[in-house]
Structure 1
């Protein structure tokens, strides 16, 4: 009697590796970054690598986006600009979020706001929008969920940001207006995400958000 063995098709292996390798790379990025900021004596050196980490995260995240249509490019551009300009308004007027200023950790600034902040807004709207789309809720409720996830992450980012010179608040206290403003801007952008006509299929997106959340919760615990 001959024995047969069942093998995994080569395309399936390649498909798995295409996803697993970038995910593993992201885990390494954030694990090394956490060790460097929380446990290493060379903390300042790791702080200077923050822009690189953010750029690499976004490069991997958006490499998994499918369907680079005009609608998607417009969405990405408008979310970037809206996030960036809302921070410009916040820094110069104290409106939206409260009175704060950016440090040097996040790199090159335009109008006293790091350009990477616009990219960070895009990344967060995109990843939390994908997570909310995993539910079967009405689209408005999905937008509320996405905005809530963004505020949840910001709750842990804020004290870490002050510790590592991302930005600082006047008087050293995080105002309630920051979270209200964050939710308002995030909700508006989440509504846009839900109604924008482009493919919303990125299996890496939920993991990017989860890694960000674990990273900042971990740093928050070490403050």
Structure 2
């Protein structure tokens, strides 16, 4: 009689089957959400509806980004909390004193505020520090030069972000003029944060991080060109 016995092979969980495609899926979701946001803000005729989705977009972006981070050790958690807290309280100082950045106020598009600053701002600082830091780590430079270059990348993104932010009620500047103190303040604070990133004993090989920065840059530059 022929041997009809078969070797038992356990079913592979869906999570394991999708794992090889996780990066492509995450990048696709990231691109689609930003493309929909771009269309909604610029061409839907109802930009207010899409402005209200900004917090969800930011949370989704960070979820995808940090799902690719490895080694969630004490050093990384300390780094993340420190950057979020420092970024948030720098904004609180800026809002209430005019120091660091200039005289500005947040609108309603970024969600719940504490001390007149949206809670998500700290998370946004972390995302920008983390992604720009990863991007410059792709080139061979001294760590100090990397910190300076990453800070310049952050300021460069902010240059295009500022007019977009004003147009869609993220924040507004007194007198409607974006002062140079905003960019110098961003540069100084970003450089300090990047020094921390470069020297922190954290894992710095998140393959999605450079793409998050690039998608953000394409998104804001594209809107900026149409304003």
What TM-score do the two structures reach when normalised by structure 2? 0.92
Matched, 1:218 2:222: yes
- What is the match of residue 61 of structure 2? 57
- What is the match of residue 119 of structure 2? 115
Matched, 1:92 2:130: no
Matched residues in 1 for 2:139 and 2:191: separation? 17
Structure 1 gap segments, 5+ residues each: 1-12
Q: 1:168 aligns to what SS in structure 2?
A: strand
Matched, 1:203 2:207: yes
- What is the match of residue 83 of structure 2? 79
| Matched length | 213
Matched, 1:102 2:101: no
- What is the match of residue 8 of structure 1? none
Q: 1:48 aligns with which of 36, 46, 52?
A: 52
Correspondence list, 1:57-206, <5 A: 57-206=61-210
Matched residues in 1 for 2:153 and 2:31: separation? 20
Matched residues in 1 for 2:213 and 2:53: separation? 19
Q: 1:40 aligns to what SS in structure 2?
A: coil
Runs of 4+ aligned structure 1 residues displaced above 2 Å come to: 13-16
Q: Which structure has the larger Rg over C-alpha atoms?
A: 2
- What is the match of residue 37 of structure 1? 41
Matched residues in 1 for 2:223 and 2:132: separation? 21
Q: 2:72 aligns to what SS in structure 1?
A: coil
Q: RMSD across aligned C-alpha pairs, in angstroms?
A: 1.4
Matched residues in 1 for 2:140 and 2:20: separation? 27
Cα deviation, residue 132, structure 1: 1.0
- What is the match of residue 6 of structure 1? none
What TM-score do the two structures reach when normalised by structure 1? 0.93
Q: 1:142 aligns to what SS in structure 2?
A: helix
Matched residues in 2 for 1:16 and 1:149: separation? 31
